[in-house]
Amino acid sequence: MFMDSDSDGWDEVDEKETAVISCIFCKEQLSSLEYALLHCKQNHQFNLARLKHKFKMDCYSYIKLINFIRCENVEPSILMNSSEPAWDNDRYMKPSVPDDPWLMLDFEDLSEEADSDAVPIILPKEDILKAQIEELKKELDEEKHRNLAVVDAVGEMRQVMQGLVSGEEGDKNAKHKKLSIHQGSNECDDDEDDSYFETYAHFGIHHEMLSDKSRTEAYQAAFEQNKDAVNGKVVLDVGCGTGILSLFASKAGASKVFAIDKSEIAYSAMDIIRENGYEEKVKVMRGRLEDFKDLPKVDIIVSEWMGYFLLFEGMLDSILMARDQYLSKGGLMLPNRCSLHLVGVHDEDRHNHLLTFWTNVYGFKMSCMRRECTKEAMVELVSADSVFTTTATLLSLDLNSCSPVDACFSSPFELEAERDGSLTALVGYFDVHFDLKLPVVLSTSPLAPATHWKHTLFLLEEPIPLTAGSKINGSLECSRQAKNPRALKVSITIEGHKSKVYYLN
C-alpha cells in the first residue's frame, strides 16, 4: 500500500502492480514467486530447495540469504558451490528492499522433492515481522553475553600490555589491532570500542609498528619522493597514533594536516608534533572519526589501516567513510590500492611440531587435538625457503572506488608446485600500493623483508603430496564473524579434499 500525498488516508495498490516479481539475479520480470523460483533454477542454476537442504536453513536463514544476495550482488554459482552459508550474519536480517516480495515465500514448506513443481505459499507480512522481532530479541540476549566477554577481554589485554613492558611473550600474544568504526549492523558498542582503544594507549604497540622499517619507510618514501603531489595540500590522517604519518606529510609540504585518533596516544601525538615544531600545520584531534562534524574537505587521506590478512579489524570501513565524506573530487588515497594473495608452503617440521605431536603423547592418542589446532588461523613468520608454489591473487581493492561489502568475498585459486614436496599449509599475505609519480609498494610476502603483520597461516590437517608442475585448485571465502565484526571467518576448499573453516580472532 502507499500513502497518497493529496489524501488523508491509505490507498490500495492495484493488484496488477503487486503481481510482478523481479528476479534476484537479473532484470527478468515474473508473474509469481512460483515462476520466479523456476526461472532462477532453469536460467541461473539456483536451486533454493537444494540450498535449504544443504545448510538446514530455516526462515531466518532464508531472510538473510535474500538480503545477502541483494546487498552483495553475489553470483548464484558461488552460492550453490559454497561450503559455508556466507549470509549467516545478523546484519542481513534488515530488508534491503522495502516490502520485498521474495520475503513473502513460505520457506518452511519448500521441500527439495517438490522444488520444481511446488507452488510457494505467500507468507503474510505480519509473520515476517514476527520473525524479525524474534531475531532481534535473540540479538539482545547475545549482547548481554558480549558485554561480559568485554570485561574478560580487558583483563587479558592488560596482561598483554604487562608482557610488552617486561618483554615477556609480548610479540606472541599482542595482536596488532587498530581503530575500527563499523557502520550499520557491524557497529561495535562503546564498551568494546573503549577497551579496544585502550590497547593503543601503550607505547609498546607503537614501538613495534615504528620499528617495522618496511612499513614506516614505505610511507616515508611515498611522501618524500612525491612532494609535488603533497605540497600545499590538506591532509587527513585517520588513526594517527604517534603522528608519524602527519609528520611525513608536513615535512613534504602539506599546508594543513588533521590527525585523528580515539586512543589516549593522541595526547602524546600532540606533544610529539609540538616537539618537532609542526604545531601550526598539524591539528591533533582525539575522538572517533564520526565525532567530528566540522572537518573540511581534504586533498589527501592517509592511514595505515591494514590488519592481519589485510582485512582483520575492519578499519577499512573507517577509511572508506572518510573518503566518502571528506575527500575532494580527484583527491588522493594513500595507499590507494591493495591486494590479498595466497601461496602454498612445505614445512614438515612445523607441521609435525604442531600436529603430528598429538599422535602419541606419552603413549596416549590425542588425535582430536589435531582438529583443534587447525580451527584458528595462525599469525607467524613463514620462511621464504618453505614457499614452494606459485602465488594466487584472491582480492584486489581500489581504495578510490571499493565499498565495505568488498571485504566479504569468495575467490577461486590455482597454485602450481615449483618443486616436489608436501603442501602443509596455505599462507595469506598482502601488498599495498602508492600509485604516485614515483610509485611505492609495501609487500608482506614471505619473499619480502619481514613486517610486524607477519603472515597468516592456514594449517592443513593432512599434508598433500605434490610433484613439480602439479596444480591444486580450490576456493577461499572470507567474511566477518557475526559476533565480532573485527574478526574474520575463512573457509577454504581444495578440490578432492574436505572444506575447512578457519577463524582469525
Q: Which residues are catalytic?
A: 304, 313
Sole residue written with cell 520480470: 29
- DSSP reduced 3-state for 379: strand
Distance, in Å, from the CA atom of 198 to the CA atom of 184, rounded to the nearest integer, reads: 23
* Cis amide bond preceding 335, omega within 30: yes
Q: Cell 575463512 identifies what position? A: 490
Q: Where are the beta strands (DSSP E) in 309-450?
A: 327-334, 337-345, 378-380, 387-398, 409-416, 421-434, 440-443
- Is 84 in a helix, a strand, or coil? coil
Give phi and psi for 375, each to the nearest 5. Answer: -75, -35
Q: How far apart are CA 456 and CA 162, in angstroms?
A: 25
DSSP secondary structure of 330-358: EEEEES-EEEEEEEEE--HHHHHHHTGGG
The secondary structure element, H or E, covering residue 325 is: helix 316-326
Report the alpha-carbon distance of residue 209 to residue 249 in Å, rounded: 18
3-state secondary structure of 237: strand
